[in-house]
Structures are given as structure tokens and as C-alpha cells.
Structure 1
């Protein structure tokens, strides 16, 4: 009976910890750089890393350009987020074009290291009669810290570069309309690591895009702490139960 009361009390304590930890996660949500009151969407793009047009997450940016131009935008991403970049290019009238064109989006971090896409159509070829082409790049989850030799995504600026990588020479300079958008989801505590960068990887000329309401203070909490605590309690319960089953009734055996 005493063992049963101990196990019941421990189980109730674990349940209380589990339910109490839920609001803590809600009190420290993943940062949302788009929380600023500025909802205007940029209508131009930069032509280099240094002149990249700043975007907030969940904010679309548009630009009218010419086929063959290199177009740049920059957006912030914090630890625990998994960014997705989408781009749409509205092509000139098919009568003005001389063949298919291939378009590509590349994403670079604050150190201008090209980041690989987990999946998505990063490069696509538009047929001569196509009206538009859509591109997508889903990045790996952003980590709070990484080894110096690693190419892991880290908190800071992320640059989007959009351009046509192949086209008939006669089609260079034709007008196009482009639209890009960066979003992200919470990757969860499975990708959390101990430690963090002293400052995000934000080059000076783009720092204005990353200063929205402490958007980099993601805090120490991740759901990894919750599951670690619950796992420890369950292990303790298993140990108590195993001891109760193997010790017997505790009374000496008389001959």
C-alpha cells in the first residue's frame, strides 16, 4: 500500500510538471520579426548583397526588373526556425520570347555562405509559352550555435538572390515582374543545442531589418527541457516500481 501511494504521488507530480510547463512555452514564443506595425511591402529589390532590400518574415516583396538582372532581398531568421523562401516570376508575353528560360533562387546566410535547400524547386525552367515560373527553397532549421567548420544555418540575416541562369541571348533585358516571400515554422526542441551566438550574423548595412522588438531574444526555453524533465521523472518512477517488485514484503523468512 505504501509503495502504491509513493507511485501515485510521483505520477501526480509528473503530471503537474507537464501541465505547468505548457504555459511557459507559450510565454516565450519563437520570435516573429514580422510583428512590427510596419505592414508596407517593398516594391524594389537590391542588385547586390550590400544593397539587398530588407523584408520581414511573412512579408512579400515585389520588383519590376529585366531578364538577366540579379535581384537581392534580405530577411531575419532566429534559432529554432526553419525558413521557407518562395519566388514567383511573371514572364513577358510569349510572342516576345525566343525560347525557354531557367530561373533560380539562392539563399545565403549573414556570412554569405550559400545554404542548401532541404527540398523545393530551387531551379525551374519555364517553357517559351509559360506565363510564370514558381520557385521554392526550404532551408534547414536554424541552430543557436555550431562548430566553426560547420555550414549550419545560424541566427541572423539571410539573403535571397533571384536570377535567370539560362535564356536565349535575344531575351536578355525583357521586362519581368517578381515577387518573393520568406516564412518559417518552429522546428522544435529536437534541433536545440546548448549555447548561443554572442550576436546574430547581421552585416551592418542590413541591421535595420533585424531590430524588431527584441526579435533575437528567443530565450533559454525550448520544449527539449520539458521532455528531458518528464523522461527523468518516468525513469525515477520505473526505478521505484522495480525496487518495490524485487524487494518482496520485507519480512524475514522463518524456518
Structure 2
């Protein structure tokens, strides 16, 4: 009975250490909300190139007005362990002014201007002539702390969103439209954690010297610091994998104690009643 109590105690202690499993750890829904995330106001204009992209933060809504045929650019930061979801809503001109359907598209690029594929979401959609709005979404892969040089894995740094119409009647070129862009992030650090980390986030125009200046000269704004999320860039060494590793070590120790108690109990000589 003492052995059974030891094993039960070990199991209960392990369950308490691991805690309840969050729903996001059990399942990853492939669906993405089509409405831009966040309620905080962001920039009201967009850039027309990568260099002039309008910066906003996850949780904000960026808006802009443009003409059909323009390329609109925004940029936002994504840190280690985050899985960004980009949502876009395009309000089209009145149907009476349009000649036919139009296909709208969003693309996302990292700090090296590598196009990042979407895991889920409707990245391109064709709007009929009578359609008033177009909803687009792109769920990116989780951002990793480091990756091989040949890989196209998303890394911490700046991410660019480009919105444009890819197909429409020539007569509809130049017609005005309104766009809203939002980004939400989901923490996926433990399942995609890596042992290494970048010397500096992938921020265009920034170098490793910029990161050193941020660490040594408090209050000085550099390209890395200016492009950081609200709570700054993470170092990349911490993830919830450390919690699971520590819990596994504790469970292994408890299992060893239980095995020792079981072996010790079975190795004792049985008591022989004295002869009468």
C-alpha cells in the first residue's frame, strides 16, 4: 500500500506541475477571422513602397485610401514565438461606377523582403461587380528565434503587408477605395522553440551595431529600437519548453523514487511465524 501511495502522489504532483492544457495547445483552428483585429487606431495613410511603408502595431487598425491599381504597404513587428494573422478589409466604389469583377490580394514579406506563405486564410479573393467589400486574411507561420541560412522560416523583425488589386477591367483603374488592415498574434513559442537566436532582429536599415547601442546607450533610438514591439524584442532564449523540461525532470525523479520503493518492498524477506 505504501508503494501505491507513492506512485499516486507522484502522478498527482506531475499533473499539478503540468497544469491544464490550453485549447490552443490541443488544436490549431485553420479558420481565420476576416475582420481586422484590434480597436486601437493606427496610421491613416499607407506607403507606396517598402521604404515608405506605414508602421503599425498588432492590435491596431491601419486605414488608408487609394486608387485601384496602387500598391499600398504597411509594416509591423513580429517577435519570437508569435504567429501573426493579417486581416484586410477593402471597401469598393459604388457598383454603378464599376465595369466588372476585381481580384484583390494581400502579400506578406519579412525583413529580408522574402515573401512568406500563408498557413490559412483567404489571401486572394475576387469581388463581383455588385460586391461592396472584400475580406482577406493571411495566417503566417510561427516566428522562430533562428533558422538555417537556406530556410525561408519567419524570423523576428519587421513584416511588410502589401495590398493591391491583381485583376480588374481597364476601365476601373484609378477608382477610389478604402482599406483597413489589422494584425493579431498568437503565442506559439514552446512548440516552435529553437536553441539559437539572431544577433539582431531583421529590421531593414539596422545592423548588429544598432542592437549594441540599444543595450549600452539607454534612451537612444536606433532602427532596431524604433521598429520594436510595445514590450521590446525578446532575447529568444526563453520559451514555455523550459517549464515542460523542468516538469519532466521532476516526474522522472518521482518515478525513480517510486521504483526504488517498489524494489525495496519486494526485496524484503517474508516473515515466517515462529514454530509452536
What is the TM-score with the length of structure 1 in the denominator? 0.82
- Structure 1 distance, partners of 2:126, 2:55, is 27
1:172-187 correspondence to structure 2 within 5 Å: 172-187=173-188
Query: 2 CA distance for matches of 1:146 and 1:241?
Result: 41
Counterparts in 2 of 1:43-62, with a 5 A limit? 43-62=44-63
User: What stretches of structure 1 of length at least 5 have no aligned partner?
Assistant: 20-38
One of 225, 240, 246 as aligned partner of 1:229: 246
Q: Do structure 1's residue 134 and structure 2's residue 151 form an aligned pair?
A: no
Q: Considering only aligned residues, what root-mean-square deviation do their CA atoms show, in Å?
A: 2.8
Alpha-carbon distance in 1 for matches of 2:99, 2:12: 72
> Match of 2:261?
244
Cα distance, 1:110–1:238 mapped onto 2, change above 3 Å: same
Distance 1:6 1:245 in 2: 9
What is the deviation of 1:81? 0.4
The separation in 1 between residues aligned to 2:228 and 2:146, in whole angstroms, is: 20
Q: CA deviation at 1:221?
A: 2.9
Q: Distance in 2 between matches of 1:16 and 1:123?
A: 46
Whether the aligned pair in 2 keeps the contact of 1:56 and 1:209 (CA below 8 Å) is no
Q: Aligned pair in 2 of structure 1 residues 248, 121: CA closer, same or farther (>3 Å)?
A: same
What is the DSSP-based 3-state SS (H/G/I as helix, E as strand, rest coil) of the residue aligned with 1:141? coil
What SS does the corresponding residue of 1:119 show, helix, strand or coil?
Answer: coil
Map of 1:171 onto structure 2: 172
TM-score, normalised to structure 2, is: 0.76
Separation in 1, partners of 2:235, 2:251: 29
After superposing the two structures, state which structure 1 stretch, 8-17 or 193-202, moved more. 8-17
What does the per-residue CA deviation read over 1:46-76, in whole Å, with 9 as the maximum and x for residues that have no partner? 1111111111111111111000100000000
Unmatched tracts of structure 2, length 5 or more: 20-39, 207-222
Higher RCO, 1 or 2 (CA under 8 Å, sep at least 6)? 1
Poorly superposed stretches of 4+, deviation over 4 Å = 1-19, 205-209, 252-255
Distance 2:84 2:178 in 1: 23
TM-aligned CA distance change 1:17 to 1:254, over 3 Å: closer
Deviation at 1:40, TM superposition (A): 4.9
Partner of 1:42: 43
| Residue pair 2:88, 2:179 contacting (<8 A) in 1 also | yes
Measured in 2, the distance between the counterparts of 1:208 and 1:54 equals 13
